[in-house]
Chain A
Amino acid sequence: MIAERWINGTVIAGILAVLAYAILADEPFTITLLTRVTILALAAVGLNIALGIGGLVSLGHAAFFGLGGYAMGILASHAQTFTPLDLGLFTLPGTKSMPVIWLVAVIISALAAWIIGLLSLRTTGVYFIMITLAFGQMFFYFSISWSAYGGEDGLSIYVRNGFPGVNTLVPAQFFAVCFVALCLALVLFHRLQASPFGLALNAARQVPERVETVGLNPMRLKLVAFIISGAITGLAGALFADLNRFVSPTMFSWQLSGELIVLIIIGGVGRLMGPVIGACLFVALEHWLGGLTDFWHIWLGVILLVIVLFARGGLIGLLTGKEGAHV
């Protein structure tokens, strides 16, 4: 069996190899696909903290993805029309600066995760899934009816936002920005999983009553995990909007929440690189099969089914021969 370290290294090397090929062969579209992989993986790394370590099956993570996207869309649209953003008590100028947009995206999605988490974490199991789904749908319908920012049609941003010292209009450079963000999130996931918090959260998933009897609050642990998780997925949403230079209510759709869960299950729940492997496979299928048939999701479904039935640890579990993320 293959050590997980080797798999992780191979995945990263593989992504960079495809990038090198795309640059040499001058295929910007391939770089765009890779960027899509990277951003979806980032969103799923966020979800993996809640789902993989904390056991929180959130079917509402599109809420954070969409909030990040709209944070970008709203700030950039005000900047491109030179109209300040009127917040009632005061006005804010729009901005085309990625770091500022990211900060706003992270703060807004963390706040949303805090509120959604506080309300949803009273429940467990199917009820938790349904409540998070309901929150996601609330944002979805709100964005559809929010005509000031395009309603159903969404918002177009004409020029990609800027990052100091980087020409984000060059696909490879924008990819690099996203890739660094993904790597930082992976480092965070890795450290978090091995930290005292990670150990306690992991135990709160398995035996909450035990966590209480050692004097810790399992709900609070899960809430903090949910907030961190939502913030990372929100950041991914801001990047996704910048990749497409377009934001629309589909970023809030429950299908997206479902896809993020599917990515993680395919790659390996609670595994560091699970979301990345899942995202690679997902985008590859979407691209190759999507070109052949409109029903490519069926094949994704088949893969998911096989994995759920025969390889509970996802592809990483299959390759390492270890079902669990731990030990």
Chain B
Amino acid sequence: MSEPVLATHGLCKRFGALSATDNVSIDLQPGEIHAVIGPNGAGKSTLIAQICGGLRPDAGRVELLGRDVSQLNTKARAQQGLGRTFQISALAMEDTVLENAILGAIGAAGRPWRFWRPVLKDTDLRERAMAALERVDLTEHAGKRTADLSHGQRRQLEVAVALTLSPKVFVMDEPMAGLGAEGSKQMTSFLDGLRREAPILLVEHDMDAVFALADRITVLVYGRVIATGSVKDIRQSAAVKEAYLGESA
């Protein structure tokens, strides 16, 4: 295997008596989609928060592009090339769809300290934002207030904002959540193409999507990795069936 793009080493996080992340070491190789699955409350979002910098682990470290980023905050990790989407859409609801995408473009350019020129007249930012919106089919909704979008469209915008950053790694927390069958299918084919740009650490509940996309799957239960392997390995694993697939399928 080549040098991983993203790796965690022995991450641990406790909330009181609850061990939400228990010695988790996973990695993401160039060009792959590595899915993390597990029942509700398994600690998937907590793991992502530690990878992205929102939550400090009690122990362990996070490496991004071969560099230890454990001490960096969310902002700095984003600047290093980490593109994240949230399980619950974190968008500026009062703003337009375009403005949300432009926020990403401002972040990518790293220059928010411009106080005078109207941002909507900045062609660089605008083009970058529109390009991202086009890729997730939101072009015609660019002028809409984000609060007026459907749930599915918000999920698409969530991805578009990450796209504006041209990240080196995507970390996505349940991008299909609440999308419905048709929406999930579209998102699946979109992510399938996206892996050519940057590898994806994909936390997902939708098993069809995971089995269709993942190069590798890691199964998390009670904060612990109980299995890692190819789609075939995981499908056949008795431990996984018992702990997880058995109860949902």
Contact = CB atoms under 8 A, between A and B. Distances in A.
B165 to A, nearest CB: 6
A210 B84 CA distance: 9
Contacts of B111: 196
24 contacts: A192-B115, A194-B119, A195-B116, A195-B118, A196-B112, A198-B115, A198-B119, A199-B102, A200-B103, A203-B99, A203-B100, A207-B90, A210-B92, A212-B53, A212-B73, A213-B84, A214-B78, A214-B161, A214-B164, A215-B108, A216-B106, A216-B107, A324-B94, A325-B94
Nearest to B161: A214
A202 interface: yes
Contacts of B117: 191, 195-196
B113 A197 contact: yes
A224 B79 CA distance: 21
Given A200-B106, A202-B94, A207-B92, 8 more contacts: A191-B115, A197-B114, A198-B115, A199-B95, A203-B103, A206-B94, A209-B90, A213-B86
A211 interface: yes
Interface string B70-103: 0001111011000110100011111110011011
B148 to A, nearest CB: 9
B68 to A, nearest CB: 19
B95 A203 contact: yes
Interface of B: 52-54, 73-76, 78-79, 83-84, 86, 90-96, 99-100, 102-104, 106-108, 110-120, 122, 125, 145, 161, 164-165
A215 B165 contact: yes
Interface of A: 191-192, 194-200, 202-203, 206-207, 209-217, 221, 224, 324-327
A212 B119 CA distance: 19
Contacts of A200: 103, 106, 112
A210 B93 contact: no
A206 B95 contact: yes
A327 B107 contact: no
Please name the 3 residue pairs, one residue from A and one from B, whose CB atoms are nearest each other, closest first. A214-B107, A215-B78, A212-B74
Nearest to B125: A196
Contacts of B91: 207, 210
A88 B78 CA distance: 48
Nearest to B102: A199
Given A200-B106, A206-B95, A213 B116 contact: no
A212 B95 contact: no
